[in-house]
A and B are shown apart, each in its own frame.
Chain A
Amino acid sequence: MDEIASLLEPQIPALRRYAWALLRDDEGADDLVQDTLERAIGRWSQRRDGDLRAWLFAIQRNLFLNGLRQRRSRGAHVGDEALNDLPAPGTSPENHASLHDILVGLDALPEEQRSILLLVGVEDLSYEQAAKVLDVPIGTVMSRLSRARARLRDFMDNGRSAVLRRVK
């Protein structure tokens, strides 16, 4: 049991950050992390000797997606209006505006692209780890990352309408 704690606990800050980036809700994010930890503990014996970090992020992302599907199936609209009131941690107004924007830009992307940017760019997962989390080949990771960054750049430069026009 102590072994489980000593392996899991160092991962919790990153899991909270990824959960919050996906959900933008403190309580909801911690609910997701708690579910992830419970799932991991419950399935500890089935864990392969492989990568704990990739395994945990994969569990968390799949729990998130399942929750998302359920909200969609209920017809609830989860829009990005909620993001407009997000306070940024920065202090100066300019800082506030630019930092605020990057999250709005992130939110303009589909989940697959958001996750890849977060896992690789923020959580420092290797491309191999990201491929495991997303359950795709590494080539797909690279092309998805490339598209996600291009689209974020496009959004930040040209705004939402430009991105929406280019949705395929």
Chain B
Amino acid sequence: MTGERPIGEDDLQAFVDGRLPSARFEAIKLYLADQPALAEQVSREIEQRDALRARLAFKAQEPVPSRLRVANILASRRRSSIFRPAAIAAAVAWLAIGGVLGGFGGVWWASRSRGQDEIADAAGSAIAAHRIYVSERLHPVEVPADQEAHLVQWLSRRVGKPLFAPNLNAQGYRLIGGRLLPAGNEPAALFMYEDAGGGRLTLYARSDGGEERTAFRFETQEGVSAFSWIEKGLSYVVSARVDRAQLLPIAETIYKQFEATSDPAKSRS
């Protein structure tokens, strides 16, 4: 027949997907009848397509968790925008995307931002410091908690931003002191806490010029969990050898205490 389109890989794919108009479908069937090897491949691809659908079908049949109900998401957006475990993954995206997300067309494909680098770097440094100092029995801190006022004043001056040691008594941790650390060429502050069982938690803070504010970011390295975030030009990282669910409320508490201290009138909408 003159003028008939030659068979293409797009035809074969549409054949596998059952998306061909019937005339074309019949043409492909005839074509494959003459090509047993190719026909065998196509039939394998159809089988595998079906197998994948069957394997994944259960997930779409599960009851939808209530946290994914749109009404609940709308309600929690009104309450608070930052403190849910799911915000952690979103934080990554917010950082990478910045403020430029438009409609379709490539703007989502954003490169890693400076803020993301900073927060990842701060988290890495903080976890390293956590590992080194929490295992220290004789000198875990440079300045002990009985000199808290001096400690806070000293670290604030060196870091260049007002700091304080959050009160974590309600979470079962008491301050045991703090120390100054190098962060590249800049200073960083480390507060250390201990619970009744001797479990230690550290809060790392350093000045970071880039991002004004980020949501929480979670990571875990060999059993040490860390939440990090940037707020008003300071990077914070809280680290402990606990799981994410245990650490999140502590990170929230620290965040809220800093927020309340720095600007009590301002509330997060």
- For B102, the chain A residues whose CB sits under 8 A away are 46
Q: Are A89 and B68 in contact (CB under 8 A)?
A: no
Our pick among A8, A103, A106 for the contact of B70 (Cβ within 8 Å) is A8
B197: interface (CB < 8 Å): no
A135–B102 alpha-carbon span in the complex (Å) = 14
Q: Is B96 an interface residue (CB 8 A)?
A: yes
Does B31 make an interface contact (CB < 8 A)? no
> Which residues from chain A contact B64 at a C-beta distance below 8 Å?
9, 12-13, 16
B60 CB contact (under 8 Å) in A14, A76, A156: A14
Interface string of B66-97 (1 = CB under 8 A from A): 01111101100100000011111110110011
Within 8 A of A (CB), among B1-53: 9-10, 12-14, 16-17, 19, 41, 44-45, 48-49, 51-53
Q: How far is the CB of B9 from chain A (nearest CB, A)?
A: 4
Whether the Cβ atoms of A39 and B93 lie closer than 8 Å is yes
Give the bracket for the number of chain A residues in contact with chain B: 35 or more
Partner of B86 from the list A34, A46, A76, A89 (CB cut-off 8 Å) is A34
Are B106 and A121 touching (Cβ within 8 A)?
no
Q: Which residues of A contact B59 (CB under 8 A)?
A: 13, 16-17, 20-21, 29
Are A99 and B55 within 8 A (Cβ)? Answer: yes
Q: Check if A70 sits within 8 Å of B41, measured CB to CB.
A: no
Which of B108-116, B150-158, B168-176, B257-265 has 4 or more CB atoms under 8 Å from chain A? B108-116
By the criterion CB–CB under 8 Å, are A145 and B13 in contact?
yes
- A70 near B92 (CB under 8 angstroms)? yes
Bound CA–CA A102/B48 (angstroms): 7
- A112 within 8 A of partner (CB): no
Q: Is the interface of B mostly helix, strand, loop or mixed?
A: helix
Given contacts A4-B70, A153-B45, A156-B48, contact A67 B92 (CB under 8 A): yes
A66 to B51, CA, bound (A): 29
A47 to B44, CA, bound (A): 39
Given contacts A132-B104, A142-B9, contact A20 B56 (CB under 8 A): yes
B70 contacts across to A, CB distance below 8 A = 4-5, 8-9, 37, 41
Q: Is A56 an interface residue, CB under 8 A from the partner?
A: no
Q: Are B55 and A102 in contact (CB-based, < 8 A)? A: yes
Q: How far is the CB of A119 from chain B (nearest CB, A)?
A: 11
Interface 1/0s, chain A 118-152, versus B by CB < 8 A? 10111000110000100100010011011001101
A153 & B92 in contact (Cβ 8 Å cutoff): no
Q: Tell whether, in the assembled complex, residue A121 and residue B86 are in contact, meaning their CB atoms are under 8 Å apart.
A: no
Partner of B101, one of A43, A89, A122: A43
- The answer to whether A73 touches B69 (Cβ under 8 A) is no
Indicate whether A122 sits within 8 Å of B68 (C-beta atoms), given known contacts A48-B103, A70-B120.
no
Give the residues in chain A near B184, CB-CB below 8 Å: none
| Among A20, A28, A58, residue most surrounded by chain B Cβ atoms (within 10 Å) | A20
A interface list, Cβ under 8 A from B? 1, 4-5, 8-9, 12-14, 16-17, 20-21, 28-35, 37-39, 41-43, 46-48, 50, 55, 58-59, 62-63, 66-67, 69-70, 73-74, 76, 88-89, 98-99, 102-103, 105-106, 117-118, 120-122, 126-127, 132, 135, 139, 142-143, 145-146, 149-150, 152-153, 156-157
Task: Add 8 more A-B contacts to A38-B73, A48-B103, A142-B13 (CB < 8 A).
Answer: A29-B59, A38-B77, A62-B93, A63-B89, A70-B96, A105-B48, A135-B108, A153-B41
15 A-B pairs (CB sep. < 8 Å) = A12-B64, A17-B56, A17-B59, A29-B59, A30-B67, A31-B86, A34-B86, A37-B73, A46-B102, A70-B217, A102-B52, A103-B55, A135-B106, A135-B109, A149-B48
